[in-house]
Amino acid sequence: MTLEIYVMKNAIISIAAILSLLCAQVANAAQMKRILVLGDSISEGFQLKPSEAYPMLLAKKLRDAGLNLEVINASATGGTTAGGLERLPTHLKRKIDIFILELGINDAFRGIPVDQIQKNLQQIIDKVKARNPEVRIVIAGMQLPNYAADDYVSAFGKMFTDLAAKNGAALVPYLLDGVAGDPALTLPDGIHPNAAGQKILAENVWQTLEPIARGL
């Protein structure tokens, strides 16, 4: 075998190996399912590293459980339901298998009527379903202080249950359960979860998300 043939043979083998690896990576990417989280500062991880926010903690839980799902955190500080509607189209260009919706509390802080908040959330869900008919929806419920103390507060809390029932969605009853009001689990503002609080949020969502992810 001449040197030229030997070099050419090795080059062909190397190219074949690289192509095989690339094909495997493409196939793996095609098989990977996708979770989109659309939320506000709670889901974004206000003043925390992206890796400390509960969506990325969920990504780790999924990996540890051997579940091949990518988590995309499309949350934004100050996010409202109207803002979510505006931001959503960019994230509908790729297939979504599970959609986690966490919006509404900033609307409530601004005194937006509950009917309007619910209408916006329903439009978001409808748009996601229109592009992804088989998508599984997870709604992260929120509550205002003094839950059930007045009509607005009560209606706001009930809204998430109604949305879940109407859309056949899974419900996280109260995303901040175990965190809200605990200074050890929130930032100095007393509202946003700190890194320890985000771990509890991840557990709250995981209880609902895990069986859905395993069933895909």
pLDDT in tens, 69-100: 999 999 999 999 999 999 999 999 999 999 99
pLDDT of residue 84: 97
pLDDT of residue 145: 78
Q: SS3 of 149, please?
A: coil
Whether residue 13 has pLDDT greater than 90? no
The DSSP symbol for 186 reads B
Report in angstroms the alpha-carbon separations of 18 from 7, 15, 29, 50, 211: 17, 5, 17, 33, 37
pLDDT grade for 10, boundaries at 50, 70 and 90: low
CA 28 to chain centre: 21
Active site residues: 41, 189, 192
Tens digit of each residue's pLDDT (9 = 90 or more) over 110-156: 999 999 999 999 999 999 999 999 999 999 999 997 655 689 999 99
Which among 208, 214, 200 is positioned nearest to 57, based on CA atoms?
A: 200
Mean pLDDT value of segment 50-59: 98
Q: SS3 of 96, please?
A: coil
Whether residue 25 has pLDDT greater than 70? no
Q: What span, in angstroms and rounded, lies between the C-alpha atoms of 2 and 167?
A: 70
| Alpha helices, DSSP H, located in the chain | 3-31, 41-44, 54-64, 81-87, 105-109, 114-131, 151-167, 195-214
Report in angstroms the alpha-carbon separations of 122 from 43, 81, 99, 137, 146: 19, 10, 13, 12, 25
pLDDT of residue 214: 96
Tell me if 173 sits within 8 A of 143, measured CB to CB: no
pLDDT of residue 117: 98
What's the whole-number average pLDDT of the chain? 90
Q: Kindly state the tokens that stand for 92.
A: 């509908």
Using a pLDDT cut of 90, give the percent of the chain over it: 81
Q: Does domain 33-214 have CATH number 3.40.50.1110?
A: yes
